[in-house]
Structure 1
């Protein structure tokens, strides 16, 4: 197995090792005002929406996890089947490995084979050339392309990149790639200035991927003989990142620390058009009877999101940002300093 494939499997093992199902994060400091007289009824159709021209059953989706190794083949095969059966979107893990190791394509394309008509997002790093990105998009028949920005992870990674001059390549991708491009962080949060800068380049989709869930600095430190522990606490919390991003009037994906349907609902209330979930779903899949358990969990989340729509008196996803919200004082103070 190659160094890249080995790293992919190490990431999976360490994500499982460090996973905390009830880990506290910024969503716990955000609260919504509920009408006691909602005048609504539970309606599963109310959570259906469009995503990149296709209808999906819910505004939450399976966000980028893995690809490029033997174990990730089985994971992506299962995720493809689950996405097909639940009619939600699926984002694959970074396919940049295919630039050097084309023989790993099967571990990605299996998801499209299992879900031929669903929404599928490809994922590459920010230095991937237009030519390589176009090839990956074509091979996976991807509906959109996630481009991840992961400076902190790369610095913590013992074999990581040390050159982060990415803007010129992002400009080329934006100018020549024909599918929508999503700029995505990987657990440290997108800051407003970066969103504003890339918005000027014509990019309109952003996945904030804030801190509060998987910590890739922690994962890479576990692989690093000289760990940089201080990097594990420099991320921008998801709720703060979402509040700031909402000022930019862009198409927003909220991810990072989504643990339950209420977190999904809060992400939508923060202005997220969609909400992405990675490790919470991955850890269910990795357990015994994981396929059936994750399939049922996603179906249950769909029902519970419809419950929350009814509880808060809502019939339309686009109206959720109008729900009154308030924050615990420590979080509010942080937000106020950054606004």
Structure 2
């Protein structure tokens, strides 16, 4: 097993070890005002939405996690199967390994085999050569490309990169790649200045991936011979990052610490077009297999439809109109940063 593949398997193990479904985060400090008399009815058909020119059954999806090892091949196969069964989108974990280890293609392609007609996003780092990225997109028949920004993870990683001069290459990728490009954080949040800079070079989609869920500084610290735990708390809360993206008037995905259907509703109410979920779905699969994950996603659809009705709405488009209020610590952050 290569060093890269070994790292992929370590990440899966540590993500499971540190998983905390009840972890407190900024979603807990955001509240939505509910009408006692909503005058609505529950309708799961309101959840259907177009995503990269394909129709999916819900505005939430399985976000990027893994690929590039034998264990991750089994995970991607299962997640691809569930995505097809439930007709939701699926984003693969970083496929940058394929630029140097083409033999790992199967660990990603199994997801496309399981879901030949569904929305599939591929994911690379901002240094992946353009030719290699185009090949990955072609081989996986990708509908969109995620380019992840992970400076904190790289600094925490013992063998991580130390060169973060990425902007020019991202611009070249945007100019040469003909499918939608999503700039994605990995759990520390996108700030307004970065969103603004990338918007100015033509990037149209952003996955904010704020703090509150899987913490890659914590994961890398567990692999490290030195203590870098001080990096674990430097992320931007998901709610704050979402409000920054909304202020920049860009299309954005809300992810980072989404634990339940109410968090999904809050993400959509913040203005997110879609909501991404990673570790909650991964650990459900680990505990209860594909059948358990299918049941969970089906339940989330029903519960989200119920919440939309409870909050007096009848469409996804109307969710940002829900009145919001914040606990004082989060309100203070919002007031200082926006």
Fold agreement, TM-score > 0.5: yes
In the alignment, is residue 70 of structure 1 matched against residue 70 of structure 2?
yes
Q: Distance in 2 between matches of 1:303 and 1:331?
A: 30
Q: Which residue of 1 aligns with 2:81?
A: 81
Structure 1 unaligned blocks of 5 or more: none
* Partner in structure 2 of residue 168 of structure 1: 168
Contact 2:187 2:215 (8 Å CA) reproduced: yes
CA distance in 1, matches of 2:215, 2:279: 10
Q: Distance in 2 between matches of 1:268 and 1:227?
A: 37
2:98 matched residue in structure 1? 98
Partner of 1:145: 145
Secondary structure of the residue aligned to 1:38 is coil
**Distance in 1 separating the partners of 2:309 and 2:253:** 23
Q: For residue 43 of structure 1, what is the aligned residue in structure 2?
A: 43
Instruction: Report the Cα distance in structure 2 between the residues aligned to 1:227 and 1:208, rounded to whole angstroms.
Output: 27
Partner of residue 209, structure 1? 209
1:241 Cα deviation after fit = 0.6
Counterparts in 2 of 1:210-229, with a 5 A limit? 210-229=210-229
**Equivalent residues of 1:158, 1:220 under 8 A apart:** yes
Residues 35, 310 of structure 2: 8 Å contact kept: yes
Q: Which residue of structure 2 aligns with residue 121 of structure 1?
A: 121
Q: Which digits, 9 at most, give the CA deviation of each residue in 1:260-319, with x for residues without a partner?
A: 0000000000010000000010111111x3211111000000100100111011111111
SS of residue paired to 2:61: strand
What's the CA shift string for 1:146-169, capped at 9, x where partnerless? Answer: 000000000000000000000010
| Matching of residues 1-339 of structure 1 within 5 Å | 1-287=1-287, 289-339=288-338
Q: Assess if the C-alpha contact under 8 Å between 1:156 and 1:227 holds in 2.
A: no
Contact 1:204 1:250 in 2 (8 A): yes
Map Cα deviations across residues 159-214 of structure 1 (whole Å, 9 max, x no partner). 00000000010000110100000000000000010000000001010000000000
Q: State TM-score, norm by structure 1.
A: 0.99
> Which runs of 5 or more structure 2 residues have no equivalent in the other structure?
none
How far, CA to CA, are the matches of 1:305 and 1:87 in structure 2?
A: 16
Superposed CA RMSD in Å reads 0.6
Find the aligned partners of 1:64 and 1:20 in 2 and give their Cα distance: 18
Q: Distance in 2 between matches of 1:169 and 1:133?
A: 12
Shift of 1:244: 1.3
| Aligned partners of 2:99 and 2:129 also within 8 Å | no
**2-structure distance, mates of 1:227, 1:297:** 37
1:229 Cα shift?
1.2
Contact 1:57/1:87 (8 A) holds in 2? yes
Query: How far apart in 2 are the matches of 1:21 and 1:51?
Result: 27
| Post-superposition offset of 1:228 | 1.0
SS at match of 1:182: strand
Could you say what secondary structure the match of 1:286 adopts?
helix
- Report how far residue 243 of structure 1 moved: 1.0
User: What's the secondary structure of 1:313's corresponding residue?
Assistant: coil
2:67/2:92 contact within 8 Å kept: yes
Query: Runs ≥4 in structure 1, deviation > 3 angstroms?
Result: none
